[in-house]
Amino acid sequence: MKIILTGATGVLGSHIMYEILELFIKSNNDGKLFIIARNKGKKSALDRIDELLSSYYTPKIIREKGIHYLHQYLEIIDVDLADIQATFSTKIEGAYFIHSAGFVNLSTDETQRSKIYEENTTITKSLFTLFQPYIKKFIYIGTAFSSGNRKGLIENDFHTLGFSPDHRNAYENAKYDSELFIAKECKKVNLPFQILRPSVIGGKMLDTENPNFISKYMVFYLLAKFFYFTSQRKGEQENVRFIVYEDTVLNIIPVDYVAKVIVKIFERNDIEQLNIVHNRSFNMMEGLQLIMKEVGYTNFTSIKKPLNFIYQNTIEKLYYESIGKHLNPYFTSRANEYDTTLLQTILEIPVLDDQALTDMIRFAKNNNFKDINV
């Protein structure tokens, strides 16, 4: 079996890499995993991958095999995705292509739109055009939020909606455009494909090995990070008003669960679209209260969206002019849930309750919200 993977140094991609290597080890086959990654500063792509394979957070089954053993399964292609050329077509003939790399940016700033599209849509199209003649299947890792701001029950099929999704930012729009392109072009040439869409990714939950670990703190973690460090300041906490609808929800899914589902189903041709999401979303206000309690920021209130919102203090201004302006569209989204009937048959969804969310934030807090930069 041959698999090509992009994004292996990322939050989700690294866990997909671990799951693939575990699959190869347990099945004792001669699989080959081609990893497309670039150098970073003085670190080569090989250095970066070796670090992921030998660190304290590396799954035990991978780490104990040792780098030398693992390299029998690996071939590192050290190149930026924007510059890749098909000089190795014979090697990758008949491979599964898992495109996990992406640029997560929830900015609503129009000046960021072109960069977001370049990093997500343009590169995806280029990769597909380049590799399509040689591969046996294209697996695209999208986002459940490419469904846009929708109310009610969200099914797995986003391509026959009969309407255009109401996207909250350029990132959602770019990911949606990418998956439409993949589906359309694959059907043209009769190439199997999958669109797999995780929701907001949280820390590990499936075993006792490094529980709650995640390599980079994004989305709800950024909110926690902002108010954790703000709570450490001397003096009285300034009141912050959150513009939040009472029925808005946020769907969070553990990173290791997402990776396991992807590796369980990438060979299945009966699944073209799948939302890898939790069966129960957090009420936004309740989740916010849990997060703020854990980080120690108690002076906040919720309000409905005002016609004119004028900052009342320095902390409120800092929040809304940084991460707040990117997160706010999600605080005022229509209430929805996802249909997880199919997902539950693939791998049981773990319980993610109030305590689990608190544990994720506590883990991040105890690690000072420090990302692992490989």
Measured CA to CA, the distance from residue 144 to residue 15 in angstroms comes to 19
Same domain, 256 and 246: no
Report residue 224's pLDDT band, with 50, 70 and 90 as the boundaries. very high
Note whether residue 373 is domain-resident: no
- Domain-terminating residue out of 231, 261, 276: 276
The residue-averaged pLDDT of 117-121 equals 93
Measured CA to CA, the distance from residue 99 to residue 194 in angstroms comes to 10
- pLDDT for residue 214: 98
Report residue 85's pLDDT band, with 50, 70 and 90 as the boundaries. confident
Residue 276, C-beta contacts closer than 8 angstroms, at least 6 positions apart: 144, 196, 197, 198, 199, 253, 257, 258, 261, 262, 343
Note whether residue 95 is domain-resident: yes
Same domain, 178 and 327: no
Note whether residue 179 is domain-resident: yes
**Mind giving me the DSSP string for 73-98?**
GEEEEES-GGG---S-HHHHTT-EEE
pLDDT digits (tens, 9 = 90+) for 121-141: 999 999 999 999 999 999 999
**Mind giving me the DSSP string for 32-69?**
EEEEEE--BTTB-HHHHHHHHTSSTTS-HHHHTT-HHH
pTM (two decimals): 0.96
Same domain, 355 and 267: no
Closest by CA position to 9, among listed 64, 50, 67, 42: 50
Report residue 79's pLDDT band, with 50, 70 and 90 as the boundaries. confident
Report residue 18's pLDDT band, with 50, 70 and 90 as the boundaries. very high
Q: What is the mean pLDDT of the chain?
A: 95
**Mind giving me the DSSP string for 93-146?**
TT-EEEE----------GGGHHHHHIIIIIHHHHHHHHHTTT-SEEEEE--GGG
The residue-averaged pLDDT of 304-328 equals 92
Single-letter amino acid, residue 32? K
* Residue 237 exposed, middle or buried by CB count within 10 Å (0-12, 13-18, 19+): middle
Residue 234 belongs to domain spanning? 220-250+282-335+348-366
* Residue 344 exposed, middle or buried by CB count within 10 Å (0-12, 13-18, 19+): exposed
Same domain, 116 and 86: yes
| Residue 270 near residue 288 (C-beta atoms within 8 A) | no
In this structure, of 79-83, 100-104, 177-181, 198-202, the range with the lowest mean pLDDT score is 79-83
- pLDDT for residue 86: 67
Measured CA to CA, the distance from residue 128 to residue 6 in angstroms comes to 12
Token pair for 186: 């694959």
User: Is residue 157 scored above 90 in pLDDT?
Assistant: yes
Same domain, 228 and 124: no
| Residue 351 near residue 282 (C-beta atoms within 8 A) | no
Phi/psi of residue 79, nearest 5 degrees = -165, 150
Angle at CA 284, nearest 5°, toward 356 and 104?
80
Same domain, 242 and 164: no
Name the 3-class secondary structure at 288.
helix
- pLDDT for residue 88: 66
Report residue 80's pLDDT band, with 50, 70 and 90 as the boundaries. confident
* Residue 60 exposed, middle or buried by CB count within 10 Å (0-12, 13-18, 19+): exposed
User: Is residue 249 scored above 70 in pLDDT?
Assistant: yes
Same domain, 129 and 30: yes
- Domain-terminating residue out of 259, 276, 293: 276
Token pair for 120: 């997500």
pLDDT digits (tens, 9 = 90+) for 266-282: 999 999 999 999 999 99
193-198/273-276 β-pairing: parallel
CATH number, residue 159 = 3.40.50.720
Same domain, 114 and 237: no
Note whether residue 209 is domain-resident: no
Same domain, 7 and 77: yes
The residue-averaged pLDDT of 166-195 equals 97
Same domain, 235 and 268: no
Number of structural domains in the chain:
2
Measured CA to CA, the distance from residue 319 to residue 337 in angstroms comes to 28
Same domain, 256 and 329: no
- pLDDT for residue 50: 97
Measured CA to CA, the distance from residue 9 to residue 88 in angstroms comes to 21
Same domain, 171 and 116: yes
* Backbone torsion region of residue 93, taken as left when φ is above 0, otherwise alpha when ψ lies between -120 and 50, otherwise beta: beta
Single-letter amino acid, residue 172? E
Closest by CA position to 186, among listed 227, 153, 138, 146: 138
32-37/2-6 β-pairing: parallel
Phi/psi of residue 202, nearest 5 degrees = -115, -175
